[in-house]
């Protein structure tokens, strides 16, 4: 079955020529070049459904006209890429990462902060913020007094994503109360404020995060290195060469002894293996200089 046959079968009323194989190939190429995302032929219907509203809003009569628009217009191209990104996540996802961080990593960081040092974290591909807040709540811990003291130290977390709509939700820090159920009770009690069906991340936690729009395949304007980087379930959308380049960049951006956490189906391969050692399932540490 051709692409147009599939669309006609699934979405009656679509006019022939509105979205064809050439349009899909062009959009796939642009998306891969700009964001590293691989769109297989099975994603044609997803591309159509997510971009059709943008095509209409841009006053383009066809997808072909919209392809021309996004090639020429960087702002519209960014809108299209954002629409094609997947932002599925949830609080305390892959809990063993946060448990490892609390047990093996956090104590040394807390000691450093109390001695007047600084700690820098990065949630790369933060989506709508659940990973960001899970990590920061884990860092502050289940002792409210000690956590409040930690929050006054030189601790900062960069939360970045290519999707501006996801960043807006993350920055707001408000979620359905039921979405926070995976967070351990002690953390949820101290570091969120519930108003019934909605809960908001506590101000002490929110002031530690800095949200930025960032394409991981583009330039990174950040100065200095990070002590821990979380980039989980982002690289599953990339091809292997893109993954290897990105992980190597992460490894170079880590301070010696720094930690990298990746998604459960992701693996470190390529040049980064010269810089990182495996510390557990999808947990890596940068070797000392």
Question: Active-site positions?
Answer: 50, 161
Rounded Cα distance between 285 and 289, Å, is: 12
In the DSSP assignment, the letter for residue 156 is E
Q: Helix 21-35 to helix 3-10 angle, to the nearest 10 degrees? A: 100
**Chain centroid, CA 20 distance in Å:** 31
Check if the beta carbon of residue 155 is closer than 8 Å to that of residue 119: yes
Neighbour count for residue 216 (Cβ, 10 Å) = 21
Q: Which of 121, 123, 251, 137 is nearest to 190 (CA)?
A: 137
Taking CA atoms, 194 is separated from 55, 96, 198, in Å, by 40, 26, 6
Residue 192: in which H helix or E strand, if any? strand 192-194
Residue 42, CA distances (Å) to 1, 31, 46, 47, 240 in order: 12, 15, 8, 10, 19
- Identify the helix (H) or strand (E) that includes residue 201: strand 198-201
Contact between 81 and 32 (Cβ < 8 Å): no
Beta bridge partners of 209: 157
């Amino acid at each position: 079955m051709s692409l147009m046959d599939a669309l006609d079968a699934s979405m009656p009323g679509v006019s022939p020529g509105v979205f064809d194989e050439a349009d899909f190939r062009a959009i796939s190429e642009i998306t891969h070049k700009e964001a590293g995302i691989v769109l297989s032929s099975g994603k044609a219907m997803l591309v159509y459904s997510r971009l059709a509203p943008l095509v209409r809003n841009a006053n383009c009569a066809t997808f072909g006209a919209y392809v021309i628009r996004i090639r020429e217009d960087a702002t519209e191209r960014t809108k299209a890429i954002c629409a094609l990104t997947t932002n599925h996540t949830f609080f305390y996802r892959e809990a063993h990462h946060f448990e490892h961080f609390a047990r093996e990593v956090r104590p040394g960081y807390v000691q450093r902060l109390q001695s007047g040092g600084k700690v820098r974290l990065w949630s790369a591909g933060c989506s709508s913020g659940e990973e960001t807040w899970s990590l920061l709540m884990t860092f502050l811990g289940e002792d409210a007094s000690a956590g409040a003291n930690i929050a006054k130290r030189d601790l900062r977390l960069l939360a970045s994503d290519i999707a501006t709509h996801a960043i807006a939700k993350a920055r707001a820090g408000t979620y359905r109360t039921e979405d926070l159920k995976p967070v351990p009770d002690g953390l949820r009690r101290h570091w969120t404020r519930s108003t019934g069906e909605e809960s908001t991340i506590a101000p002490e936690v929110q002031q530690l995060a800095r949200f930025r729009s960032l394409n991981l395949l583009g330039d990174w304007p950040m100065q200095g290195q990070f002590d821990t980087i979380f980039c989980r379930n982002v690289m599953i959308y990339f091809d292997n060469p893109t993954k290897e380049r990105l992980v190597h960049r992460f490894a170079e951006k880590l301070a010696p002894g720094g930690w990298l956490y990746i998604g459960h189906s992701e693996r470190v391969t390529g040049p980064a293996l010269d810089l990182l050692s495996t510390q557990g399932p999808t947990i890596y540490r940068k070797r000392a200089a």
